[in-house]
Chains A and B, each alone.
Chain A
Amino acid sequence: ETGVTQTPRHLVMGMTNKKSLKCEQHLGHNAMYWYKQSAKKPLELMFVYNFKEQTENNSVPSRFSPECPNSSHLFLHLHTLQPEDSALYLCASSQGGLAGVNEQFFGPGTRLTVL
């Protein structure tokens, strides 16, 4: 595998389900990001991790819970979601430290549908 990979690519879940999204980067980066992309809205930054420490939580509801066990892996745990949470969830990575400066490499995304 190369670049940034995300699994699953598609996910359908009910509002009472618990599921997790997984992101893995094979670039040796130290910063990882979760974004939400909804139709007709700008890309929304959700979380930033630098060297495994969370450095940004963009007022995300607690039904989204990130986990970064090491610099290569990032998870987004989902529980009791709402239909409006249906979106494309993108993971990205970059060299650590300067999240506003360094190029971010994106995965293909997980298309989430909440019924």
Chain B
Amino acid sequence: AQSVTQPDIHITVSEGASLELRCNYSYGATPYLFWYVQSPGQGLQLLLKYFSGDTLVQGIKGFEAEFKRSQSSFNLRKPSVHWSDAAEYFCAVGAGSGNTGKLIFGQGTTLQVKP
């Protein structure tokens, strides 16, 4: 069965430090992969997505992610974190096909940024 695992429930980094959020997926075929961010009291916003091609994808707000098929991973990175990046981050895999397809989300990683 398809699944997404985000091993880190909570991460704290200092402002200006680099960030990496981990995501591992289980899916039989070539996955469609997404990272979403959710600020308190808000819905989810797409940061970036991978469908095919270059395995390093660039997103909004200075985020990037790298797809590694051999490790079944799609880790999110940012070279220098800003206080406004404090939020909850969700990795998701697109499963199924056609009209029956759906997104399967990980349990999320809460990012706290220290001044």
Contacts and interface: CB of A to CB of B under 8 A. Distances in A.
A103 B49 contact: yes
B100 interface: yes
**Which of A92, A104, A109 is most buried by chain B, counting CB atoms within 10 A of its CB?**
A104
B103 A104 contact: yes
A100 B44 contact: no
Interface string A40-59: 11110100101000011000
A103 B46 contact: yes
Nearest to B6: A42
Interface in A92-115: 92, 96-101, 103-109
A99 B101 contact: yes
B98 interface: yes
A108 B96 CA distance: 26
Nearest to A31: B99
Interface of A: 4, 40-43, 45, 48, 50, 55-56, 90, 92, 96-101, 103-109
24 contacts: A4-B43, A40-B107, A42-B107, A42-B108, A45-B102, A45-B104, A97-B98, A98-B97, A99-B94, A99-B96, A99-B101, A99-B102, A100-B94, A100-B96, A100-B97, A100-B102, A100-B103, A101-B32, A101-B101, A103-B49, A105-B46, A106-B36, A108-B41, A108-B43
